[in-house]
Structure 1
Amino acid sequence: MSPRWEPNPDIRTGRHCVHDLSAHLVFVTKYRRDALTGPMLERCEQIMKEVCEKFDCELTEFTGEHDHVHLLVRYPPKVALSSLVNSLKGVSARYLRQEYSVHVRTHLWGGHFWSRSYYAGSTGDANKATVRTYLQSQDQTQK
């Protein structure tokens, strides 16, 4: 960074690049079943934060309802978003199935947790505040 620039905490730097990449991700439970509870959403957020850290990413917002979750993720250019999504869904499904097996088995079957599809939307500077406000207004399932 040039010494003439004021440091901006929203802009990240790498060895050869300056970036501010973020994506709004939405994962839906298989068959859109109401499989998520409040404690499961809290645990899901913890798991997804850990996965993001391993990818050198930051989970800046997380919220969810009974049948889906929203994430706002900041990521470096070296990360393929599809690889991050694959790990987020795979790791969270494995842990949630293990830790809440009785509850999950009553709502989901066939070894699946998340739907194969997902939503990924890029967020620009003008749009980021709007997405954050939207995510914070979503109904977090009560404990």
Structure 2
Amino acid sequence: MNMRAIIMVCMAASLISMASAIAGTATYYTVYVPSACYGYQDQGVMIAAASDAIWNNGAACGKMYRVTCTGPTNQGVPQPCRGNGVTVKIVDRCPSPGCQSTIDLSQEAFSMIADPAAGKINIEYNQV
């Protein structure tokens, strides 16, 4: 395969991965154990709780998601995004009713992609 063909394949692959991203919202939480998936086992801090949209009767446990901030959801912090993406592991279920987002990130994961003062942000996410 020549270099031009390799570049074209890489470009097509990156477009496919971007096209598969799903729009949603993210919030954050701070108490990580116990979790619905792992009980009292510590799973680190790059974790998240899934809303009903992702939970799938617990099938989401252990799945990895790439989450990127795309913008604010309110007037409080006009530019909350930090330009980074983060990969998190689903370890819990966002309480229903009461879940305020598509994915509830650990405070550490949220802080990597956005200003925590925003509280809630618009995101794109996809399973990795």
Give the TM-score taking structure 1 as reference length. 0.24
Higher helix share: 1
Higher strand share: 2
Give the TM-score taking structure 2 as reference length. 0.26
